[in-house]
A and B are shown apart, each in its own frame.
Chain A
Amino acid sequence: SAVISQKPSRDICQRGTSLTIQCQVDSQVTMMFWYRQQPGQSLTLIATANQGSEATYESGFVIDKFPISRPNLTFSTLTVSNMSPEDSSIYLCSAGQATGNTGELFFGEGSRLTVL
């Protein structure tokens, strides 16, 4: 299993600013992902965080808006850039051991962002 710590747990941000969310896993994991969850909605995959290389983004998400770093097997960051109220959401970090995302995912408790 893996325990995932995310910070901040919540924040209120001003339009046009950027915020970086940190994700720390208590053990080395193969895969790390970032999801977005609107309140009361499902989870949407933003990108796969690749160790030492550029993240793999899903359709509708771009690196300029959501730059991601993963310097090692236990840590990743997601930045939400030039925020607008539409970016208000819960951002979830997840991790798994299986390649191809075919195994159990462990989730952090999420970072709830409100953009004014």
Chain B
Amino acid sequence: GENVEQHPSTLSVQEGDSAVIKCTYSDSASNYFPWYKQELGKGPQLIIDIRSNVGEKKDQRIAVTLNKTAKHFSLHITETQPEDSAVYFCAANAGKSTFGDGTTLTVKP
């Protein structure tokens, strides 16, 4: 089955800096790659996604890149704000979602 590895497990940045989270996947049949943000006590919420026919997608301060050949995709957050502090999960879909282990992002004011 699909295996998703996510790094780093924790990330601390100063407000205004950029944050990058990376994921690799194993199943070449995966064709949908969402990123979810989970705040304390809440369920995960989709923040951006990318499909296998696209290399990059951007939505304001958030961007995702996909390298199908290398089987990795990354989340980029620019101009980080304290409210970006949360746990972020990547996922890869080849018929069902397999999630990474999560990255705890802390943005220090």
Contact = CB atoms under 8 A, between A and B. Distances in A.
A110 to B, nearest CB: 6
A104 B97 contact: no
Contacts of A105: 34, 36, 44, 46, 97
Nearest to B4: A42
Interface in B78-93: 89, 93
Task: Place the interface of chain B in its size category.
Answer: 20 to 34
Task: Place the interface of chain A in its size category.
Answer: 20 to 34
A4 B96 contact: no
Contact of B43 (A41, A45, A104, A110): A110
Given A42-B101, A43-B89, A45-B97, A103 B32 contact: yes
Contacts of A42: 89, 99-102
Nearest to A59: B1
Interface of B: 31-32, 34, 36, 41-46, 49, 89, 93, 95-102
